Structure 1
Amino acid sequence: MLPPLSRRSFGLGLTGLLALPRSAGASTPIMTSDVPPPTLEVLKWAPATRAALQTVMDAHGHYAEGYDPNQRPYAVFDWDETAIVGNVQETLFHFMLEHFSFLLPAEQFRHLLHVGGSEHPLPAQFKNLAGQPIIFSELIQDILEDYRALAAHYGHMPHPLPREELADDPALQAFRARMALYHQALRAMHGEEAAQRGLIRLLAGQTVQDVVALTRAANESALGQSIERVTWKSPATRPGRTGPLSVTLTQALRLTPEMADLFQILQEQGIDPVICTSSLEESVAIFATSAEYGYNLRREHIFGARLSQHKSVYAATEEANYPFPFGVGKTAIIHTHMAHRKQPPLIIFAGEDSSGHLLSAFPQTPLCCLINRKQTADMQPFLQDAVKQRGTSSPRFVLQGRDENTGEWRPDEASIFLGETNPTLP
């Protein structure tokens, strides 16, 4: 047997491995008083945030007096924009568009879209290349025509299709641009939750194994690409009802060694990291449980969005009796699945737009860590609390900054946003 790798060996790359947590199955507290508790690597933590985390872990982990191995503390984490830089679901969505990885007949695909869209123009920021307004219902019709053309041409071929075979196809160029704009318009008109649910539904017709393979391919592709804004255009040769249009999206996916180290130290301290994310559960589990990616979390501690299944094929409906993990739904999942712990989360670490309710639902949680990024109005009060508590001796809300141009954290609470050069606080 090969000797286990040190947890210090994690690197930004698929070959950087971490050892399996030494105490993931620990059942008794460490009684030797002269054994120091494990500490977080310095890496690129904001010093005050790292110190606050270490203090809470040392006070409540199994190196502390009063630790009860039968009521293990737990910490709740978002996944997107938190444990990683980027968004797993959007990365998969973009990959599926570029490779036309959709299996449903056109009429069934139609039901995955908001086909009852308004006859009124989209919000002012959505115009075609001629500066004309875009009608939502006409955009849907154009998308369906593109889909029918692509399905007729490529439907018999194994999926996902090679990118090079599709890159010059006007129907593919139009389809991906219109679908990306559709998603952005859905978010603008109906909010983040509706847009996220729409992304999840697009996986209908795939087997669980299909989605696992697609997610892995999308992850590996995105990890090897530069972080940048990318513009997709529908060609003039395929104007449709809406006319040629363009859409700009962000291409970004990076591993975060600081979070991998934190997960390891939590488990060595007898504290369970629990993921609760708005992305598809199986897509996140590939990342979160893998030694290849460096996170090594337990599968039973990964909670995400779920679709109903029939013979391992995803349907377009969400799993019954399981909340969608957004807002109050995310909180409900923690209440239900962590009820046996009989205690609130020890730590909440949030970066997704869906965590405002979670942060307010557990006032007894000692520490809430927030990724400093541009977020929705629901998250702003918590970000402002973190700013106000900077420099205090026992903050409950703390910030972690990052450089979105490199995909790395910064040893400070301020972040450098994509395309900018100056660090900024909320």
Structure 2
Amino acid sequence: MKYAKRYIAVMLTINLLSLNARAARVESVPPAPSTAPNITENTPMLQPGKWDSFNKKRLEAMLAKARQAPPHTYYAVFDFDNTTAFLDIEEAALIYQLEHLLFSMSPEELREVILKDIPLTDFASAYNNKNGDPVNIIKVSEDIIESYRWLHDNYPDLTQQERLVEIRRTPHYQNFITKMRYLYAAIGGTFRHEVSYPWVTYLFKNMTPGQVADLTQKTIAWQRSTPVESVLWESPAALPGKAGVVSVTWHNGFRLVPEMQDLYQALQKAGVDVYVISASNLEVIKSIVTRPPYSVPETQVFAMRLLHTSDGKLTAGLDPDYPQTQGKGKTETIRKFIQNKYAGKGPLLVAGDSEGDQNMMSDFPDTEVVLIINRLRPADSVIGQLSKRAVEEYKQKDAKILLQGRNDNTGEFIAAQIHYPLGKKIGQKVK
């Protein structure tokens, strides 16, 4: 028995030494060269959505490249209105603000705001009144203030939303909201963007950032329930005033675009820092893109930045330390506040839809991808030329310019480069 025990002990020792030797050999064998492709199952991939298939493939190749670099090596810049979203959130918020009379100004303050920096010349002929007579800021502002003052005198607390049903029956309510929306359209259609873009943000004067954020979220919820359609307002014949009877048309149906939400997330998962540069009000844009699913840090959001009072309320003045975030101002914003954080490199990706974005799309030679949401911009504009180039270079492996189609009848992307204007069943790629 003693010899048997010794035999067993010796055999156990030999087996243990053998196992250890095999383990050592396994650990010392170098790993076999990887045969996996660059895009692995862990690489951020875009959801199928309604992307043009080539655009999706090109964006995914860009994401795969970004993933190979350390986080925060690259950054992407997005416009918001008609790029990140369908339609313009500032315009949608203006309608909600008008319909609910969400203003924190006295009639005298409103007069000062709506006259601010607006030339006294007549508006473009497209904004003549119903009789064909020209209109200008003096004429229409008198009518607006007259109706606003009447509303203030008869309904001193405009925040009592339960009285809106009664207020909306009055001609002065219809006159006020119509001529205010008309004035926004006339300013934008007559004067330079440097005049028109800031103007609408001034209407938040005396509101807190929280009030603007609340108004924005209510606007999004309301617009989600409305059809995508064209809406016409005409001021009441009973109150022609100085400007006469005027009308204005705009589009309802603001939507957040799921494909863009997915792209924001995929970029961040790939280690790319995402920035938003918008010509809308800063508080409006922050209230959307700093929340999931976008989750953009507040310090990476740039838009029309109003000065604040000592108690935190918004004023009718832009912060002079920040460029106007439209046109050349978008490029200036990148160069002043962003580019130096990335060793002087331009954005990896720029996404936009209009002339207000064309500078940042074309001013950085090292930008790898420019994503244009197709809205059939004029052929003689920079973005029109970039769109044409996207059509010509379509499906080339390293194409820089991508043109993404959209159907304005549904507010959705389509899997092509084509744009369908509202009310049209036939679309086109470029003008």
TM over 0.5: yes
1:191 CA drift (Å): 2.5
Q: Distance in 1 between matches of 2:252 and 2:153?
A: 29
Alignment of 1:366-405 (within 5 A): 366-375=368-377, 377-405=381-409
Q: Distance in 2 between matches of 1:278 and 1:161?
A: 33
Give the 3 Å change call, closer, same or farther, for CA 100–263 of structure 1 in structure 2.
same
Alignment of 1:141-290 (within 5 A): 141-158=142-159, 163-290=164-291
1:321 CA drift (Å): 0.7
Q: TM-score, normalised by structure 1?
A: 0.86
Query: Do the aligned residues in 2 keep the contact of 1:99 with 1:161 (CA within 8 Å)?
Result: no
Indicate the residue corresponding to 1:307 in structure 2: 306
SS of the residue aligned with 1:76? strand
Q: Which runs of 5+ in 1 are unaligned?
A: 1-31
1:87 CA drift (Å): 0.8
Indicate the residue corresponding to 2:410 in structure 1: 406
SS of the residue aligned with 2:77? strand
SS of the residue aligned with 1:247? strand
1:74 CA drift (Å): 0.9
Query: Do the aligned residues in 2 keep the contact of 1:369 with 1:398 (CA within 8 Å)?
Result: yes
Q: Distance in 2 between matches of 1:118 and 1:350?
A: 29
Query: Do the aligned residues in 2 keep the contact of 1:118 with 1:137 (CA within 8 Å)?
Result: no
Percent identity (aligned):
26
Give the 3 Å change call, closer, same or farther, for CA 180–406 of structure 1 in structure 2.
same
1:235 CA drift (Å): 0.8
Residues 135-190 of structure 1: CA distance to partner in whole angstroms, max 9, x if unpaired?
44211211121221122223324266764343222111111111111111111221
1:51 CA drift (Å): 1.2
Higher deviation after alignment, 400-409 or 153-162: 153-162
Bigger radius of gyration: 2
Indicate the residue corresponding to 1:41 in structure 2: 47
Higher deviation after alignment, 304-313 or 239-248: 239-248
1:352 CA drift (Å): 4.3
Cα RMSD (Å): 2.0
Q: Distance in 1 between matches of 2:119 and 2:194?
A: 19
Query: Do the aligned residues in 1 keep the contact of 2:371 with 2:402 (CA within 8 Å)?
Result: yes
1:216 CA drift (Å): 1.3
Alignment counterpart, residue 344 of structure 1, candidates 326, 346, 363: 346
Give the 3 Å change call, closer, same or farther, for CA 264–97 of structure 1 in structure 2.
same
Indicate the residue corresponding to 1:363 in structure 2: 365
Q: Distance in 1 between matches of 2:169 and 2:102?
A: 17
Q: Which amino acid aligns with 1:418?
A: L
Query: Do the aligned residues in 2 keep the contact of 1:100 with 1:161 (CA within 8 Å)?
Result: no
Q: Distance in 2 between matches of 1:262 and 1:76?
A: 12
Q: Distance in 1 between matches of 2:35 and 2:98?
A: 57
Higher deviation after alignment, 79-88 or 187-196: 187-196
Q: Which amino acid aligns with 1:332?
A: E
Give the 3 Å change call, closer, same or farther, for CA 119–84 of structure 1 in structure 2.
closer
Number of aligned residue pairs: give it: 388
SS of the residue aligned with 1:250? strand
Query: Do the aligned residues in 2 keep the contact of 1:116 with 1:137 (CA within 8 Å)?
Result: no
1:243 CA drift (Å): 1.8
SS of the residue aligned with 2:115? coil
SS of the residue aligned with 2:287? helix
1:119 CA drift (Å): 6.1
Query: Do the aligned residues in 1 keep the contact of 2:118 with 2:195 (CA within 8 Å)?
Result: no
Indicate the residue corresponding to 2:321 in structure 1: 321
Higher deviation after alignment, 320-329 or 396-405: 320-329
Query: Do the aligned residues in 1 keep the contact of 2:52 with 2:404 (CA within 8 Å)?
Result: yes
Query: Do the aligned residues in 2 keep the contact of 1:127 with 1:245 (CA within 8 Å)?
Result: yes
Give the 3 Å change call, closer, same or farther, for CA 116–352 of structure 1 in structure 2.
closer
Give the 3 Å change call, closer, same or farther, for CA 119–340 of structure 1 in structure 2.
closer
1:388 CA drift (Å): 2.5
Query: Do the aligned residues in 2 keep the contact of 1:98 with 1:166 (CA within 8 Å)?
Result: no
